[in-house]
Amino acid sequence: MRSSKSRSRSKSNRNRSVGNIVNRVFESSGPEGKVRGTPQQVIEKYNQLARDAQLSNDRVAAENFQQHAEHYQRMLNEAQREMDQRREEQERQNRDRQTDRDRNADRDRDRAQRQERESNGGQAGEDQVSAPQPDVIDTSESDSHLVETPESAGDKPKPKPKPRPRSRKPKPDTPNDAEGGGNDETKAAG
């Protein structure tokens, strides 16, 4: 047999979460009998009963119905406030998550650019764009000292470079060369 303490039904032990009160169906025991419906429907019903009581000059019943309507209105307002707080919290969490995703994407992009720079020998696309560019030079001059590349040559035949004259040093005159050439070892052998 179970203990009665574990199955307490007091209001203090109930979870006071108003979670889905907006759509929940209530059964209210008012002075005119039970009123059943969602909080908005119960509020409308008690307000209608209060108007009917005022028309019949029953101020006590009208006040009683208005108090019942106010009770359900407070419950509905509290539920709406909690739902708004939850929605704001979820939106804040979503913004935080999106900010984290954006920050991680920026970090990943920066890391990829850094790795690309390192793999390109320290020069990234940004560095190459900001590097000083050479001036355009008129290549029609024949005395230009520029090296002609295959791209700049086009269909023109390549001119053969002129051979450079070599400077030769005269051979030193040695006494052995004048007598018959050769060195001392060849004379001794002969």
Q: State which of 17-21, 24-28, 45-49, 128-132 shows the largest mean pLDDT.
A: 45-49
Q: How many CB atoms lie within 10 A of CB 160?
A: 6
In this prediction, residues 86-105 reach a mean pLDDT of 92
CA–CA distance, 125 with 114 (Å, rounded to integer): 11
For the cut 80, the answer to whether the pLDDT of residue 110 exceeds it is: yes
Q: What percent of the chain has pLDDT over 70?
A: 62
Please tell me the distance from the alpha carbon of residue 43 to that of residue 37, in angstroms, as a whole number: 9
What is the model's pTM? Answer: 0.42
**Do the Cβ atoms of 27 and 68 come closer than 8 Å?**
no
- Work out the percent of the chain whose per-residue pLDDT is above 90: 28
Output phi, psi for 186, to 5 deg: -70, -30
Taking the C-alpha atoms of residue 104 and residue 57, their distance in angstroms, rounded to an integer, is 70
Q: Please compute the mean of the pLDDT values over residues 84-99 and round it to a whole number.
A: 93
- What pLDDT score does 50 carry? 93
Range scoring the smallest mean pLDDT among 7-11, 59-63, 161-165: 7-11
The interaxial angle of helices 59-119 and 39-55, nearest 10 deg, is 150
Is the predicted pLDDT of residue 19 greater than 90, yes or no?
A: no
Residue 1: predicted pLDDT: 47
Phi, psi of 14 (to 5 degrees): -75, 150
150, containing H or E segment: helix 150-153
For residue 45, CA distances in Å to 52, 53, 70, 74, 187 come to 11, 12, 12, 15, 143
Structural contact between residues 44 and 98, judged by C-beta atoms closer than 8 angstroms: no
